[in-house]
C-alpha cells in the first residue's frame, strides 16, 4: 500500500472517530437532562450545574453542523480537479466546526484536528500559513477551561457529575480514550504527510539534476551545430565564388577571347585588306555586344547587389535616388507597407519590377515624373508605377515586360499595363500567411 | 451579468415574500405566554379554589392584551413544584413567568435561570421598591439585583393560649414584649399540674434558636452565603436564650398534641395558619378547648420584634423570548391592586404591597373573617410586615441550614461551654460553605 492510500485510510478513520465522539457527547447532553427529569431527579442534577443547560435544540444544531461539515469535506475531497474550489469552502469548514464545538459546549475540540487533516493537503503557501495559524489559535482558545463558563455553557464534566462514580468513570474514560485516539491519528497522519512530502521533494531534486545534465549536453551539441553552420556557410561562399568564376569564364572569357582573337586578326588584315578588317571589326563588335548581353544575363541571374546589403525599402530608396541623379526625372517613392517580411524571391521580384519600370519610363517614355507606390492590403502587395511620359496606344511587350510577367507568374501574381495616360504598371503579389504585417 | 442580477433579484424577492408570510402568520397566531403556578398553598393552608387569584389575573391580563393567551399547567403541588420547575428547565420548556419557592430562589439564581428585573422596572417606571415591604422585596434580590418580585408573603406570629394565661392570672403580653417577658411567663406557666412529678404544662412549643436569631436581628449566614455568623455575639446570645428556654422544660419532649390540648402557652405560628384556623368552623374544629390569638414575636436584646418572612416570588425566565410581555404579566400578578387584594379573600397570605395590606378594604375583609374580640394580629400585621427579615438565599442554603440545625442542636447540649461550641459550629459551617 502506498502513502497516498495510507493517508486516505487515516482521513476516513479520523472522520469516523470524530463522528462517534460527537455522537457520544451529544447523546450524553440530550439524554442526561431527560433522564433526570423523568426520574424526578432534576433538582439533584441541576445543583451540580454551573448554569442552565442549553435547550435540546442546541444539539440538533450540532448534528446539522456536523452533517454539513462532513458533506463539505466530501465535496472538497472528491470534487474533480478541474473545478477550482473557491476560498469560501476553506473557511466554511472551520466556521462550521466552531459551530459544532459551540453547540457541544466546548466539550470536544478534536474536530479542529479533523478539519486540519481535511484541508492541509489542498492549501498552499500563504493560505496554508494563515489556515494553520487560525486553527492553532482556535484550538488553544477552545482548550481554555474558563471559556465555556464565561459564556454560561455547561461542560460535559458537570453533566457526568449526575451519574454514579462508576458509570461516570466509564463515560469519562471513554471520551478521553477516544479523544487521545483522535490525537494519535492526527499525529500519525501528519508524520506520514511530512514523510510523503519529503520523498516527493527528493524525487523532484533528483529529476532536476538529471535535467541539468541533459541541458549541459544540449549546449555542447549547440556549439557543435554552430561550428557546423559556419563551416557550411564557408562552403556555400566557395561554391558561389566558383559559380561566379565559371560565369565570368563562360561569358566574359568567351567573348573576350573572341574579341582578342578577332582584334589580332584585324591588326593583321588592316594592311592587307581594310575591307576585310572592317568586316572583322563588325564581327568583333557583334561578339562584344553578344558578350555584353551575356554579362547582362548572368548579372541579372545574380541577386541585385543593393538587396544583398540593404532591406527592401532602403534598397528601393537607393535605386530611386540613383535613377533620379542620372536622369532628369523626379521619382517619388511611397511605401505604405511597413515591416514587410518578404521572401528573397519576392524581394527580388519587387526590386526588379521597380527597376525595369523606371528604366522603361525614362528610356522609352521620356517621363519627367515617376510615382512608385507600394502598398499592402488584404494579404496582397500592390506595386504601382505611374509616369507622365509618352505612353503608347498599344503595348508591345519587350524583354523587360515579359521578364516581369514571368517573375510574377512564379509568385502567383498578376500584372496590368496601361499606356493611354502616361504609362502605368500595376503588379499584384499575393502574400503568404504568416508573413503579413 | 444581467442574468446573475436577475437571479439575485428573484432570490431577494422570494426571501421577502417568505419573511412577509412569516410575519403575517405570526401576527394572526395568538401569542402564548406560559406561567408556572403552584397548586395549593405553599404554607399548607387549605384553600378553596387555589386558581381563583391567577385565573382572575389572567382574565384581566388577556382583556388588556388582545391576542395574548396565558397558559399554565394546573395540579402541581407545592412539594412537587421545585422538581417540576427544574425539569421544565432541563427539557428547555420552562414557562415565561413562574412562581419561585423561597428555597429554590438560590438554586435558580445560580443556574442563571432568572432574568434580572432592574432594567424592566426602570423602563416601566410605575413600579418602585417603596411599594413593597422591605423584607418581601429583598427576598427577591441577590447582590443588589432584583430577580423576582414578591407575590405572597407569610410572616410568623406568636400564638397565645389566652385561656391558659388567664387561668394563671397573666395578662396577654403587649406587642412590644421582649425575651425577658417571654421567659418570665414561660417560667411561670411551666409546671406539673397533676402532681405526678412530670411536667405537663409548658411555656412554649417550637420556639427554636432560628426564631431567636431573627428576634435578635441576625442571620446565621452572610448574605452571599460565604460565611457563617454563628459566633457573632448576637447569634451567641440568641442561641443561649433558646438553650435557656429549653432548660425550663427539663428535657421533656413537648409535642404538637400537648399544644393542641391547650397545655402550651406560646407557639410561633404562621399567619396563613392564623387565617385558616381563626374563622369559624376551623376555629372550633381544631382548638376547641381554649381561646387563642396571635401577637408579634418577642424582641431580643439587640433586635426588634422581627420574625422571618416567608415569601413566594414570581420571576421571568432568563430564556423567555417575550420578556416585555412576561414583565407585564408579572406586574399584573405582583403589583396590581386587584390581584394582590384577592390574596386576602381567596388565599391565606399577605400582600407585599403596602398600599394593599394597609388599605381599609383589606382591614375590612380581615375583620369580617375574625370573631369580635381577637383582633390583635390584624392590628399588628403592618408592623410585623415592616419589621420582618428576609432569609438569605444562596444555592445550598437548605443543606447548610440542615447541617446547622444538627450542629447547633448538638452544641446546645453543652451546658457550660456554648461559646466555644458555637465557634466550632461556625468553623465547620464556614468550611462547608466555602467548599
Min Cα distance A89 → chain B (Å) is 21
Residues of B in contact with A36 (CB under 8 A): 87, 90
Q: Residue A268: give the domain boundaries.
A: 224-301
Asked if A47 reaches chain B (Cβ–Cβ under 8 Å), the answer is yes
- Are β-strands B308-316 and B97-100 bridged in parallel, bridged antiparallel, or unpaired? antiparallel
With a CB cutoff of 8 Å and minimum separation 6, the contacts of A156 are: A25, A28, A29, A104, A105, A107, A108, A175
Q: What is the CATH number of the domain that holds A257?
A: 1.20.5
User: What CATH number did the domain enclosing A423 receive?
Assistant: 3.30.565.10
> Can you name the residues that pair with B178 across neighbouring β-strands?
B299
Give me A142's grid cell.
Answer: 477552545
In a domain, A131, yes or no: yes
- What is the DSSP secondary structure assignment for residue B118, as one 8-state letter? H
Strands B202-204 and B264-270: parallel
User: Does the residue A185 lie in any domain?
Assistant: no
Contact residues on chain B for A54, CB-CB shorter than 8 A: 92
DSSP assignment letter at B297: P
Q: How many CA atoms lie within 13 A of A298 on its CB side?
A: 16
Q: Hey, is the C-beta of A422 within 8 angstroms of any chain B C-beta? A: no
Same domain, A124 and A20: yes
Of the candidates B188, B226, B243, B229, the one whose C-alpha atom is nearest the C-alpha of residue B106 is B226
Q: Are residues A238 and A332 in the same domain?
A: no
Q: CA–CA separation, A436 vs A431, rounded Å?
A: 7
Mind listing the domains of chain B with CATH numbers?
30-155+311-378 (3.40.190.10), 156-306+396-434 (3.40.190.10)
Q: How far is CA A311 from the centre of its chain?
A: 30
User: Is A415's pLDDT higher than 60?
Assistant: yes
Measured CA to CA in angstroms, residue A401 lies from A296, A305, A427, B65 at distances of: 16, 22, 11, 114
Q: How far is A107 from chain B (nearest CA, A)?
A: 18
User: Average model confidence (pLDDT) for chain B?
Assistant: 85
Phi, psi of B252 (to 5 degrees): -70, 140
The answer to whether the CB atoms of B90 and A46 lie below 8 A apart is yes
Helix B52-64 vs helix B323-334: angle between axes, to the nearest 10 degrees?
Answer: 130
Q: How far is A332 from chain B (nearest CA, A)?
A: 55
Nearest to B83 among A34, A40, A57 (CB): A40
Q: Which of A262, A286, A287, A290 is nearest to A276 (CA)?
A: A262
Alpha carbons B281 and B83: distance in angstroms, whole number: 35
Q: Are residues A45 and A159 in the same domain?
A: yes
User: Residue B93's closest chain A neighbor by CA?
Assistant: A55
* Residues A253 and A125 both lie in one domain: no
- A41, pLDDT greater than 80: yes
Q: Which pLDDT value is given to residue A78?
A: 67
pLDDT the model gives residue A273:
84
Chain B residues closer than 8 Å to A55 by CB: 92, 319
Same domain, A262 and A326: no
**pLDDT value of residue A436:** 41
Pairwise CA distance, residues A200 & A208, whole Å: 12
Cα–Cα distance list, B9 to B12, B15, B23, B164, B256 (Å): 5, 10, 21, 91, 81
Cell numbers representing residue A378 in the block: 488584404
Name residues whose C-beta falls within 8 Å of residue B171's C-beta, 6 or more positions apart in sequence.
Answer: B165
Closest CA to A190 of A12, A11, A1, A18: A11
Q: Please state the rounded mean pLDDT for residues A174-198.
A: 92
DSSP state of B200: -
Separation of alpha carbons A381 and B114, rounded Å: 96
* Same domain as A388, residue A271: no
Q: Is A54 on the interface with B (CB under 8 A)?
A: yes
State which residues of chain B have pLDDT below 70: 1-4, 24, 26-29, 279-288, 370-378
Interface residue of B86, B95, B399, B435 to substitute, partner A, most A CBs within 10 Å: B86
Q: How many domains does chain A have?
A: 3
Q: Indicate the burial class of B218 (C-beta count within 10 angstroms; 0-12, 13-18, 19 or more).
A: buried
Residues 6+ apart with CB under 8 A from B239: B209, B212, B213, B230, B408, B411, B412, B418, B422
Residues of B in contact with A33 (CB under 8 A): 90-91
- Looking at the fold, whether A35 and A150 belong to one and the same domain comes out as yes
Percentage of chain A beyond pLDDT 70 is 91
Is A22:A66 a contact under the CB 8 Å cutoff? yes
Count of other CB atoms within 10 angstroms of residue A373? 15
* pLDDT confidence of residue A435: 45
**Helical packing angle, A57-78 and A87-103, nearest 10°:** 150
Instruction: Tell if the CB–CB gap between B90 and A42 is shorter than 8 Å.
Output: yes
Same-domain status, A233 and A315:
no
State the smallest CA–CA distance between residue B327 and chain A in angstroms. 21
Please tell me the predicted confidence (pLDDT) of residue B150. 94
* Cα–Cα dist B63/A53, whole Å: 35
Substitution target from B36, B90, B105, B399 for chain A, most A beta carbons within 10 A: B90
Query: Does any domain span residue A257?
Result: yes
Q: Are B91 and A36 an interchain contact pair (Cβ–Cβ within 8 Å)?
A: no
d(C-alpha B323, C-alpha B117), whole Å: 10
Phi, psi of B39 (to 5 degrees): -95, 120
Write the DSSP symbol of residue B306.
Answer: -
A55·B319 Cβ contact <8 A: yes
Instruction: Indicate yes or no: CB of B319 within 8 angstroms of CB of A56.
Output: no
Asked if A152's CB is within 8 angstroms of B112's CB, the reply is yes
Last residue of a domain, one of A270, A301, A332: A301
How far does B317 lie from chain A, in Å, by closest CA? 11
The pLDDT of residue B282 is 62
Q: A51 CB near a chain B CB, below 8 Å?
A: yes
CB contact under 8 A, B90 and A55: no
Helices (H), B249-374: 256-260, 271-277, 282-286, 323-334, 337-346, 354-357, 360-369
Selected residue of A40, A41, A46 to mutate for chain B interface (largest B Cβ count, 10 A): A46
CB B100 within 8 A of CB B314: yes
Distance from CA of B85 to the nearest CA of A (A): 9
ipTM comes to: 0.72
Q: Is A414 exposed, middle or buried (0-12, 13-18, 19+ CB in 10 A)?
A: middle
Q: Which of B89, B395, B396 sits opposite A52 (nearest CB)?
A: B89
The alpha-carbon gap from A153 to the nearest alpha carbon of chain B, in Å, equals: 10
Ranges A32-41, A136-145, A245-254, B125-134: which has the least confidence: A245-254
Q: Are residues A18 and A142 in the same domain?
A: yes
B112–A46 C-beta distance less than 8 A:
no
A81-125: per-residue pLDDT in tens?
555 555 666 778 888 888 888 888 888 889 899 888 888 877 778
How do beta strands B97-100 and B31-36 pair?
A: parallel
Domain membership flag for residue A313: yes
Among B91, B145, B80, which Cα is nearest to A46's?
A: B91
- Please indicate, yes or no, if residue A390 is contained in any of the structural domains: yes
pLDDT tens per residue across span B106-127 = 889 888 899 999 999 999 988 8
Sequence-distant (≥ 6) Cβ neighbours of residue A14 within 8 angstroms: A113, A114, A117, A182, A185, A186, A189
Which residues 1-40 of A have a C-beta within 8 angstroms of B? 33-34, 36-37, 40
Residues A340 and A295 in one domain: no
Domain membership flag for residue A219: no
pTM above 0.90, yes or no: no
Contact B107 A34 (CB under 8 A): no
The CB density around residue A286, as the number of other CB atoms within 10 Å, is: 12
The answer, for A43 touching chain B at a CB cutoff of 8 Å, is yes
Residues 6+ apart with CB under 8 A from B244: B183
What is the average per-residue pLDDT within A124-129? 83
Contact list in A for residue B92 (CB cut-off 8 A) is: 54-57
Phi, psi angle pair for A291, to nearest 5°: -60, -40
Distance from C-alpha of A8 to C-alpha of B319, rounded to nearest angstrom: 45
* CB within 8 Å: B86 and A46: yes
pLDDT at A220: 94
Residue written as grid cell 416570588: B313
The confidence score (pLDDT) of residue B3 equals 65
- Cβ-defined contact of A42 to B87 (cutoff 8 Å): yes
**Boundary-marking domain end, from A238, A266, A301:** A301
d(CA A170, CA A164): 10
pLDDT value at residue B270: 87
Q: Residue A26 and residue B113: Cα distance in Å, rounded? A: 22
Please report the pLDDT score of residue A144 as a whole number.
84
* Shared-domain flag, residues A14 and A155: yes
Task: Report the candidate in A374, A353, A351 with the shortest Cα–Cα distance to residue A437.
Answer: A374
d(CA B83, CA A42): 6
Domain end residue (candidates: A268, A301, A334): A301
Q: Name residues 133-162 of chain A within 8 A of B (Cβ).
A: 152
Residues linked to residue B292 through DSSP beta bridges, in sequence order: B161
* Chain position carrying cell 585588306: A273
Cβ within 8 Å, pair B89-A57: no
Contacts of A40 in chain B (CB under 8 A): 83, 87
Higher pLDDT, A34 or B30: A34
Task: Please determine, for residue A433, whether its predicted confidence score (pLDDT) is greater than 70.
Answer: no
List residues of chain B with CB under 8 Å from any CB of chain A. Answer: 82-83, 86-87, 89-92, 107, 110-113, 318-319, 395-396
Q: What is the pLDDT of residues A321-364, one digit of tens each?
A: 877 777 777 888 888 876 677 777 788 788 888 888 888 888 78
The 3-state DSSP composition of chain B as helix, strand, coil percent (nearest 5) reads 50, 15, 35
* A43/B318 CB distance under 8 A: no
pLDDT of the residue at A175: 92
The verdict on a CB contact (< 8 Å) between A33 and B91 is yes
> Is A45 part of the contact surface with chain B (CB cutoff 8 Å)?
yes
**Nearest-CA distance A25 → chain B (Å):** 17
Domain assignment present for residue A193? The answer is no
DSSP B167-196: HTT-PPPPTT-BHHHHHHHHHHH-B-SSSS
Which of A47, A51, A56 comes nearest B395 by C-beta? Answer: A47
Structural domain includes residue A279: yes
Selecting from A40, A43, A56 the residue whose C-beta is nearest the C-beta of B92 gives A56
With contacts defined as CB-CB under 8 Å, which chain A residues touch B89? Answer: 42, 46, 52-53
Same domain, yes or no, for A260 and A329? no
What's the pLDDT tens digit per position in A287-331?
Answer: 888 777 777 777 666 655 556 667 788 888 888 887 777 777 788
Q: What is the pLDDT of residue A437?
A: 37
- Beta strand pairing call for A424-430 and B68-72: unpaired
Would the CB atoms of B112 and A37 count as touching at under 8 Å? Answer: no
Q: Which of A290-304, A374-388, A395-409 has the lowest mean pLDDT?
A: A290-304
Taking CB atoms and an 8 Å cutoff, what residues of chain B touch A51?
111-112
pLDDT score of A174 more than 50: yes
CA distance A41 to chain B (A): 7
SS3 sequence of chain A: CCHHHHHHHHHHHHHHHHHHHHHHHHHHHHHHHHHHHHCCCHHHHHHCCCCCCCCCHHHHHHHHHHHHHHHHHHHHHHCCCCCCCCHHHHHHHHHHHHHHHHHCCCCCCCHHHHHHHHHHHHCCHHHHHHHHHHHHHHHHHHHCCHHHHHCCCCCHHHHHCCCCHHHHHHHHHHHHHHHHHHHHHHHHHHHHHHHHHHHHHHHHHHHHHHHHHHHHHHHHHHHHHHHHHHHHHHHHHHHHHHHHHHHHHHHHHHHHHHHHHHHHHHHHHHHHCHHHHHHHHHHHHHHHHHHHHHHHHHHHHCCCHHHHHCCHHHHHHHHHHHHHHHCCCEEEEEEECCCCCCCHHHHHHHHHHHHHHHHHHHHCCCCCEEEEEEEEECCEEEEEEEECCCCCCCCCCCHHHHHHHHHHHHCCCEEEEECCCCCEEEEEEECCCCCCC
Q: Does A53 touch chain B (CB under 8 A)?
A: yes
Q: Which of B83, B86, B91 sits opposite A34 (nearest CB)?
A: B91
Distance CA B392, CA B309 (A): 11
Q: Give the number of beta-carbon pairs within 8 Å between A and B.
A: 50
Amino acid at each position: 500500500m502506498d502513502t497516498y492510500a495510507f493517508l486516505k485510510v487515516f482521513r476516513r478513520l479520523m472522520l469516523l472517530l470524530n463522528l462517534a465522539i460527537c455522537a457520544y457527547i451529544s447523546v450524553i447532553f440530550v439524554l442526561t437532562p431527560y433522564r433526570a427529569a423523568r426520574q424526578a431527579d432534576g433538582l439533584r442534577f441541576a445543583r451540580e450545574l454551573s448554569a442552565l443547560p442549553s435547550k435540546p435544540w442546541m444539539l440538533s444544531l450540532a448534528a446539522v453542523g456536523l452533517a454539513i461539515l462532513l458533506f463539505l469535506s466530501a465535496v472538497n475531497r472528491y470534487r474533480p480537479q478541474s473545478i477550482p474550489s473557491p476560498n469560501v469552502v476553506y473557511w466554511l469548514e472551520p466556521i462550521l466546526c466552531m459551530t459544532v464545538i459551540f453547540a457541544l459546549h466546548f466539550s470536544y475540540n478534536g474536530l479542529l484536528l479533523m478539519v486540519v487533516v481535511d484541508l492541509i493537503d489542498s492549501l498552499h503557501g500563504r493560505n496554508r500559513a494563515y489556515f494553520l495559524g487560525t486553527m492553532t489559535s482556535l484550538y488553544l482558545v477552545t482548550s481554555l477551561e474558563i471559556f465555556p463558563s464565561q459564556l454560561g455553557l455547561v461542560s460535559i464534566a458537570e453533566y457526568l457529575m449526575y451519574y454514579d462514580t462508576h458509570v461516570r468513570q466509564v463515560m469519562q474514560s471513554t471520551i478521553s480514550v477516544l479523544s487521545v485516539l483522535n490525537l494519535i491519528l492526527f499525529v500519525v497522519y501528519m508524520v506520514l504527510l511530512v514523510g510523503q512530502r519529503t520523498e516527493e521533494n527528493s524525487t523532484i531534486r533528483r529529476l532536476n539534476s538529471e535535467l541539468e545534465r541533459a541541458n549541459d549536453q544540449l549546449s555542447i551539441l549547440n556549439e557543435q551545430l554552430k561550428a557546423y553552420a559556419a563551416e557550411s556557410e564557408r562552403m556555400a561562399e566557395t561554391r558561389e565564388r566558383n559559380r561566379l568564376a565559371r560565369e565570368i569564364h563562360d561569358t566574359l572569357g568567351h567573348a573576350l577571347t573572341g574579341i582578342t582573337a578577332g582584334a589580332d586578326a584585324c591588326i593583321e588584315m588592316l594592311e592587307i585588306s581594310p575591307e576585310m578588317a572592317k568586316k572583322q571589326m563588325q564581327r568583333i563588335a557583334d561578339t562584344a555586344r553578344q558578350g555584353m548581353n551575356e554579362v547582362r544575363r548572368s548579372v541579372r541571374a545574380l541577386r541585385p547587389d543593393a538587396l544583398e546589403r540593404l532591406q527592401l525599402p532602403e534598397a528601393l530608396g537607393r535605386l530611386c535616388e540613383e535613377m533620379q541623379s542620372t536622369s532628369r526625372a523626379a521619382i517619388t517613392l511611397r511605401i505604405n507597407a511597413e515591416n514587410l517580411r518578404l521572401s528573397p524571391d519576392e524581394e527580388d521580384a519587387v526590386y526588379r519590377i521597380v527597376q525595369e519600370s523606371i528604366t522603361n519610363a525614362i528610356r522609352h517614355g521620356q517621363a519627367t515624373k515617376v510615382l512608385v507606390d507600394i502598398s499592402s492590403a488584404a494579404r496582397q502587395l500592390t506595386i504601382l508605377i505611374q509616369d507622365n511620359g509618352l505612353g503608347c496606344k498599344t503595348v508591345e511587350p519587350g524583354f523587360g515586360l515579359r521578364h516581369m510577367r514571368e517573375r510574377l507568374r512564379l509568385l502567383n501574381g498578376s500584372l496590368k499595363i496601361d499606356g493611354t495616360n502616361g504609362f502605368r504598371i500595376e503588379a499584384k503579389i499575393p502574400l503568404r500567411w504568416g508573413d503579413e504585417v | 451579468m444581467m442574468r446573475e442580477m436577475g437571479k439575485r433579484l428573484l432570490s431577494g424577492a422570494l426571501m421577502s415574500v417568505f419573511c412577509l408570510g412569516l410575519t403575517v402568520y405570526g401576527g394572526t397566531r395568538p401569542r402564548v405566554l406560559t406561567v408556572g403556578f403552584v397548586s395549593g398553598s405553599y404554607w399548607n393552608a387549605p384553600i378553596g379554589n387555589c386558581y381563583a387569584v391567577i385565573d382572575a389575573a389572567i382574565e384581566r391580563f388577556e382583556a388588556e392584551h388582545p391576542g395574548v393567551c396565558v397558559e399554565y399547567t394546573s395540579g402541581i403541588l407545592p412539594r412537587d413544584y421545585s422538581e417540576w420547575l427544574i425539569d421544565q428547565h432541563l427539557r428547555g420548556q420552562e414557562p415565561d413567568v413562574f412562581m419561585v419557592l423561597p428555597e429554590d430562589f438560590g438554586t435558580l439564581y445560580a443556574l442563571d435561570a432568572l432574568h434580572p428585573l432592574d432594567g424592566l422596572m426602570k423602563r416601566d417606571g410605575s413600579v418602585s421598591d417603596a411599594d413593597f415591604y422591605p423584607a418581601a422585596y429583598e427576598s427577591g434580590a441577590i447582590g443588589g439585583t432584583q430577580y423576582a418580585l414578591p407575590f405572597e408573603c407569610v410572616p410568623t406570629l406568636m400564638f397565645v393560649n389566652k385561656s391558659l394565661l388567664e387561668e394563671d392570672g397573666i395578662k396577654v403580653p403587649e406587642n412590644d414584649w421582649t425575651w425577658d417577658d417571654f421567659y418570665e411567663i414561660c417560667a411561670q406557666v411551666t409546671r406539673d399540674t397533676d402532681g405526678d412529678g412530670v411536667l405537663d404544662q409548658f411555656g412554649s412549643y417550637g420556639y427554636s434558636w432560628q426564631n431567636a436569631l431573627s428576634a435578635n436581628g441576625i442571620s446565621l449566614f452572610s448574605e452571599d452565603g460565604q460565611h457563617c455568623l454563628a459566633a457573632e455575639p448576637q447569634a451567641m446570645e440568641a442561641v443561649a436564650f433558646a438553650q435557656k428556654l429549653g432548660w425550663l422544660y427539663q428535657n421533656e419532649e413537648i409535642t404538637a398534641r400537648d399544644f393542641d390540648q391547650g397545655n402550651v402557652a406560646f407557639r410561633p405560628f404562621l399567619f396563613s395558619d392564623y387565617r385558616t384556623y381563626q374563622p369559624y368552623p376551623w376555629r372550633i374544629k381544631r382548638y376547641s378547648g381554649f381561646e387563642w390569638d396571635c401577637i408579634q414575636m418577642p424582641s431580643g436584646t439587640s433586635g426588634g420584634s422581627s420574625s422571618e418572612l416567608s415569601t413566594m416570588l414570581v420571576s421571568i425566565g432568563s430564556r423567555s423570548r417575550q420578556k416585555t410581555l412576561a414583565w407585564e404579566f408579572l406586574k399584573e400578578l405582583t403589583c396590581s391592586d386587584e390581584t394582590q387584594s384577592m390574596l386576602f379573600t381567596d388565599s391565606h397570605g399577605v400582600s407585599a404591597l403596602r398600599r394593599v395590606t394597609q388599605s381599609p378594604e383589606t382591614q375590612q375583609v380581615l375583620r369580617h373573617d375574625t370573631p369580635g374580640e381577637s383582633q390583635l394580629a390584624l392590628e399588628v400585621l403592618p408592623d410585623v410586615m415592616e419589621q420582618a427579615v428576609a432569609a438569605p438565599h444562596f444555592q445550598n442554603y437548605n443543606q447548610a441550614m440542615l447541617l446547622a440545625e444538627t450542629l447547633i442542636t448538638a452544641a446546645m447540649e453543652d451546658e457550660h461551654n456554648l461559646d466555644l461550641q458555637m465557634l466550632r459550629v461556625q468553623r465547620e459551617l464556614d468550611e462547608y460553605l466555602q467548599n
